[in-house]
Each structure stands twice: as structure tokens, then as C-alpha cells.
Chain A
């Protein structure tokens, strides 16, 4: 009879606490629909690996080794799917929108300094800062390349705040802008972009980023490969598979694999709370950076820009663009900012990868 309860006796409070955290993640995924595709597998995985003497821990650890630790395979393959989902046309019609994506990466570098200030080693500080990329695969890729010991907390923070974009961004945008600025209307010209441009764009971006930040070329390369499949016009079946089947499959594995880092010993630390706080700072400062660049540009340009679109440079595609569009309609029900904010949003996707690549170029050597 001892067999029935001897394993139970090895249970400790920390493991129970991790079940509770896993339960909260599952609750947020199902009841609040916050990034359910990732938070649900992560929540379930957190329970799974924290059962006393869990036989699943070794299997999930093996998945982590082959899928993330060795060559960051899962996030990279997921990027093929994301690339196939993105339509860069709004950006290509108005390329200067890319500068908002660049400005909205300020939160990453600000948070790097803040994390350093709180005593994190530079590789951990940079890994925490990349939460501000608002992009799960980039966060996983950079944190893993920098051998951060806080990967799980970084993942949970990154995906939680991505899901919280509709709650985090509006008050910051409103704080940084006046009512008159939020009412600025922007015309969308909807210029036609040639197929040649759409095909050359992913190839050229890969070459440029690859030359500047070679450590990130896999990240941008896989993203742009997915986009090339989408835009080439002769691989529609592959494009659909990448967008749906491939992305879904990898997402299932990614979520539960990250849970391998959610053991009580690794996750229940004071630093986890600090990382959650710093992640929030990164999102707030990202939003601030994008909005402020638009306000500065308005000082010099005749055609005024609605500063709210700068906030969409945070990446977090496509939630951030929707948030900005909704805020525009709240102020003026005829102010349609969606195409502009989508353009900024996809530029944020590229800029966040560039930021990750630069961080790796600085620190991964």
C-alpha cells in the first residue's frame, strides 16, 4: 500500500505553488482568452513538470534540448508561419512608417539599462529587455542565445504582456497625446505595390539585416522566407500550410516545451517578480517611444501624423494596430487608422528582430 502514497510524501509547497501558477495560466487562456495557444500549454506543462518525480519532465526536457536549446528550432520554424501570415503592403506603400517601428524599440534598450541597474548580469538584463520586442519567438531566441537563467519567466512575461496589449497601451497613449492629436485624420493613398517589390523585399531585408547582425540572420531569414512563400504567387499551398498547420503544430510544442523551465526551483524566485515588472516597463516605454517620434515628426512635417500610430510599432502583431485603430474611432468615428497602424505594426515586427540581432551582435560573442 505504501506505493500509493510514498510519492505523495515527496510533494513540497513550491510544487503546489507552481500548480497554482499553472492553473492561473490555464484560467487566463480559457476564461480571458489571453494568448490561449501558448498560455494553455505552458500552464498545463507547469503542472506536469511539477508533479513529484514527474516522469514527463525528462520528455519535456528532451523537447527543450532539441527544439530550443540546441539551435532554437521551434521559434525559428514558427517564424516561417508568422512570415507567411504578414502582408507587408501597408508598409511598402509608405516606407517611412518603418521609423516608428524603430522608435518603439526604445523600451528594449531602456529596460536593458533598468535591469542592469537592478543588478542583473548583462546577458540576463538583455534577455529581460527583449520582452519589449513583444514577440515570443524573438524573446526565446535571444534569451537562449545569451544563456539566460530566466528563460521561463521571460517567456511568461512576454506572452502575458502581448495578451495584455489592449489593457497596457491605451492609458499610456492617452497620457502621451492630447485629444486634438488623437483626432488627427490621415489619408490612406493605397498605392499599388508591384509584385516584384513584394518578392524582392524579403530577400533584400534578409541580406541587409544579415550583414549588420549575423547572429540574427536565422530569425529574420526564416521570417522573410515565410513571407517569400506567401508573396511569390506559385506556392499558395505551402503558404497556407505554413500559416495554419505548421504554425499551429510548432505552437503546441513550443508552449509545453517552455514549461520545462517552469520547475519550482527555477521559477519561484524573487527575480521572477522583478522580471514581470521590468517586462511591463519595456512595453510602456516602447509605446512611449513610438508615440513621441510621431510627435517630434509633427513639428517638421506639413501633413500631420496621428501620434497614436507610433504606438503600434511595439510589434505584438496585430493587436497593437487594432488598439490604435479603436482609439482613433473612439475620438472620431470617421477616423480610420487601421492601414497606417498595420503598416507601423509590421515594421515593428522587423525592427524588433533587428533590435534582437543588435543585442546579440553586442553580447553573444
Chain B
């Protein structure tokens, strides 16, 4: 235990990859939900 710059530098890529990963997955989910919402509602059609 103690201040460790090397550990910090090694962990930085996880921050970048992690945040990028979350936003990419979220974007896919948003697109899918938008697609689901745009499907015509059978009840409304009748």
C-alpha cells in the first residue's frame, strides 16, 4: 500500500475502454428501443 504512479498509469486504459464500452452498448440499446417503439402497435391498427 502507498502511492503508486505505475498502478495509476496501468489503470488509465481501463477508464477509457470502460467508458467507451458503456456508451457503445448504451447506443446499441437506444437504437434497439427506438426500433421497438417504431413498430406499429397491433391494437392501434385494429
CB distance from A118 to the nearest CB of B (A): 7
Q: Which residues of A have CB within 8 Å of B28?
A: 208
Let me know if B7 and A95 touch, CB within 8 A: no
Q: Which residues of B have CB within 8 Å of A194?
A: 36-37, 39, 41, 43
Interface presence of A41 (CB below 8 A): no
Measured in the bound complex, the distance between the Cα atoms of B29 and A350 in whole Å is 10
Let me know if A116 and B10 touch, CB within 8 A: yes
Interface presence of A354 (CB below 8 A): yes
Let me know if A208 and B25 touch, CB within 8 A: yes
Query: Contacts A99-B26, A109-B15, A212-B21; is A117 near B34 (CB within 8 Å)?
Result: no
Measured in the bound complex, the distance between the Cα atoms of B39 and A197 in whole Å is 9
Instruction: Kindly identify which residue among B8, B14, B26, B34 contacts A362, using a CB–CB cutoff of 8 Å.
Output: B14
Let me know if A197 and B36 touch, CB within 8 A: yes
Closest to A363 in B: B14
Measured in the bound complex, the distance between the Cα atoms of B32 and A362 in whole Å is 25
Q: How many residues of A contact B (CB 8 A)?
A: 48
Query: Contacts A105-B19, A117-B4, A118-B1; is A208 near B32 (CB within 8 Å)?
Result: yes
Query: Which residues of B (1-46) have their CB < 8 Å from a CB of A?
Result: 1-5, 7-8, 10-12, 14-15, 17-19, 21-23, 25-26, 28-30, 32-34, 36-37, 39, 41-43
Query: Which residues of A (182-216) have their CB < 8 Å from a CB of B?
Result: 191-194, 196-197, 200-201, 204-205, 208-209, 212
Closest to A101 in B: B26
Query: Contacts A116-B8, A119-B2, A122-B7; is A196 near B21 (CB within 8 Å)?
Result: no
Measured in the bound complex, the distance between the Cα atoms of B8 and A228 in whole Å is 41
Measured in the bound complex, the distance between the Cα atoms of B41 and A347 in whole Å is 24
Measured in the bound complex, the distance between the Cα atoms of B8 and A118 in whole Å is 8
Q: Which residues of B have CB within 8 Å of A354?
A: 21-22, 25-26
Query: Contacts A116-B10, A193-B37, A197-B36; is A99 near B30 (CB within 8 Å)?
Result: yes
Closest to B2 in A: A119
CB distance from A332 to the nearest CB of B (A): 29
Q: Which residues of A have CB within 8 Å of B36?
A: 92, 194, 196-197, 200-201, 204
Let me know if B37 and A119 touch, CB within 8 A: no
Q: Which residues of B have CB within 8 Å of A121?
A: 7
User: CB-defined interface of A64-79 with B at 8 Å, one 1/0 digit per residue?
Assistant: 0000000000000000
Let me know if A113 and B15 touch, CB within 8 A: yes
Q: Which residues of B have CB within 8 Å of A109?
A: 14-15, 18-19
Q: Which residues of A have CB within 8 Å of B41?
A: 192, 194, 196
Chain A residues in the interface with B (C-beta under 8 A):
91-92, 95-96, 98-99, 101-102, 105-106, 108-110, 112-113, 116-122, 125-126, 191-194, 196-197, 200-201, 204-205, 208-209, 212, 270-271, 347, 350-351, 354-355, 358-359, 362-363
A-B CB contact pairs (8 Å), 24 listed: A92-B36, A95-B30, A95-B34, A99-B30, A108-B18, A112-B11, A112-B15, A113-B12, A116-B10, A118-B4, A119-B2, A119-B3, A126-B14, A194-B37, A196-B39, A196-B41, A197-B37, A204-B36, A208-B25, A208-B29, A208-B32, A271-B1, A350-B29, A355-B18
Given contacts A105-B19, A358-B18, 10 further A-B contacts (CB under 8 A): A91-B33, A98-B26, A112-B18, A113-B11, A194-B36, A194-B43, A196-B39, A197-B36, A201-B33, A362-B17
